Amino acid sequence: MNNAVSVTSIDNRTRAGSLRRLQGAVLRRHREVGGRSLADVAAAAQCSPAHLSEVERGRKDVSAERLVAMAAALDIPLHVLYADIADALTPQALTDARASEHDPRAQLQLATAMLGTEALRAVAQFGTYLASPAASPARRRIGFAIPGREQ
């Protein structure tokens, strides 16, 4: 058995730590915006102020049940909390692109950043197909033919 730690496990721990810090920062921001003290929110969430402080600093994991209790204690819907965490995870380029919804280039950058390589390839192939003559249906005349008249 090798005692070396794999690169994948280090990456996963780094990502988990980043997620904990982002989640804690979002919780702290909501608490501070609401003008609530650490002790007040901790009491409403039925945890200690020390535990809440550790969560806010990204040093402690928080269970789903405790996160639900913290959201309730902060008087924010859980989906808002998760949306704020998702926004914090979004790369800045995507956030900038969302801000300029009327700019087609920004919209294209947003769309391409959200798609993987294979999906982009499929979109490009479909676009090429649509631009080709094969994509255009054969034109045929629609209507009634009057007997005896040539068309």
pLDDT band at 70 (very low <50, low <70, confident <90, very high): very high
Residue 1 has pLDDT above 50, yes or no: no
Do 65 and 100 sit in the same domain of this protein?
no
* Residue 100 confidence (pLDDT) above 50: yes
Could you tell me if 58 and 20 are in contact, meaning their C-beta atoms sit under 8 angstroms apart? Answer: yes
Is 36 domain-assigned? yes
- DSSP 8-state code for residue 75: T
Residue 101: per-residue pLDDT: 64
Are 107 and 83 part of one and the same domain? no
Residues 11 and 84 in one domain: yes
Task: Say if residue 11 is in the same domain as residue 75.
Answer: yes
Burial status of residue 131 (CB atoms within 10 A of its CB: 0-12, 13-18, 19 or more): exposed
pLDDT for 49 equals: 95
Q: pLDDT-based confidence at 75, cuts 50/70/90?
A: very high
Whether 151 is in a domain gets the answer no
Within-domain flag for 144: no
% pLDDT > 90, the chain: 32
pLDDT in the model for residue 133: 74
- Are 47 and 119 within one domain? no
Structure tokens at 78: 């859980």
CATH classification at residue 36: 1.10.260.40
For residue 100, what are its two tokens? Answer: 């300029």
Contacts of residue 95, defined as CB under 8 A and 6 or more positions apart, other chains included, come to: 87
Residues 81 and 125 both lie in one domain? no
Reference 31, options 17, 45, 46, 16; nearest CA is 45
Q: Rounded to an integer, what distance in angstroms lies between the CA atom of residue 17 and that of residue 43? A: 26
Amino acid at 30: H
Looking at residue 139, what is its pLDDT?
67
Greater model confidence, 35 or 123: 35
Mean pLDDT of 13-25: 83
Q: Which domain holds residue 103?
A: 95-135
Distance CA 42, CA 74 (A): 10
> Does pTM surpass 0.85?
no
Helix axes 64-73, 78-89, angle to 10 degrees: 110
pLDDT by residue (tens digit) across 84-97? 888 887 766 555 55
